[in-house]
Structure 1
C-alpha cells in the first residue's frame, strides 16, 4: 500500500530495551478532500530512510498495516494497529510527467460516415 502527502512532523529515532530496538515516527498529511494526519513508524534499519527528508516535503510512503493482540491483566484481549513504513520517496510534482492529450486540431480528419448506410445496430 502507499500513502502520499506532505510531511507534517519527523521525530528523532528512539531506542528501546537491552536489544536496542529502534523506532522513528513521522506524520504525513494526505492530499484528499478530507486530509488525514497519519502517523507512520519506521523500525530498525528503516529509521535511517527519513534522514534526507524534511517537514513540508511531498512524499510517497510504502506501508504495511500491522495488527497485534495483547491480553490485559484482566484477561481481556485488546487489539492495536500500526502503520509501518518500509520505503519513502519524494513525490513527483502534480502533473509532472503525466501524459497529455494532443490538441483537438492535431487529429487527422477521417472519411465521413455516409448517412445513406443502413443502421445495423440492434437497438
Structure 2
C-alpha cells in the first residue's frame, strides 16, 4: 500500500526498552478534497530513511498495515492498528527525473512569418 502527500511532521527517533527498539513517527497530509493527516511509524533500521526528508516535501510512502490484539487486566480485548513505513520517495524529484530538461526561453526564435491561411499542415 502507498500513502502520498506532503510531510506535515517528522519526529525524532525514540529508543525503547533494554534491547534498543527504535521508532520514529511522521505525519503525511494527503492532498484531496478532505485532506487526511496520516501517522506512519518507521521502526528499527527504517528510522534512518527519514533523515534526508523535511517538512513540506511531497512524498510517496510505502506502508504495511499492521493489526494486533491485546487483552487488558480486566479481561477486555482491544484491537490496535498501525501503519509501518518501509520506503519513502520524493515525489517532486521523481517527476523531474522523468522529464527532459526544458531549454531556456531565449533558445527559441520567435515565429514572425505565420500566415493564418497556412495553418493546416495535414497531408490530405
- 1:5–1:73 CA distance, 2 compared to 1 (3 A): same
Per-residue deviation at 1:84? 0.5
| 2:28 aligned with 1:11 | no
Corresponding position of 2:103: none
Q: Number of residues paired by the alignment?
A: 103
1:28-107 equivalences under 5 Å are: 28-92=28-92, 97=98
Q: Which runs of 4+ in 1 moved over 2 A?
A: 95-98, 105-109
Q: Which has the higher helix share?
A: 2
Corresponding position of 2:26: 26
Unpaired stretches in structure 1, ≥5 consecutive residues: 99-104, 110-123
Per-residue deviation at 1:92? 3.4
Q: TM-score, normalised to structure 1's length?
A: 0.76
Unpaired stretches in structure 2, ≥5 consecutive residues: 100-119
Corresponding position of 1:102: none
- 1:2–1:73 CA distance, 2 compared to 1 (3 A): same
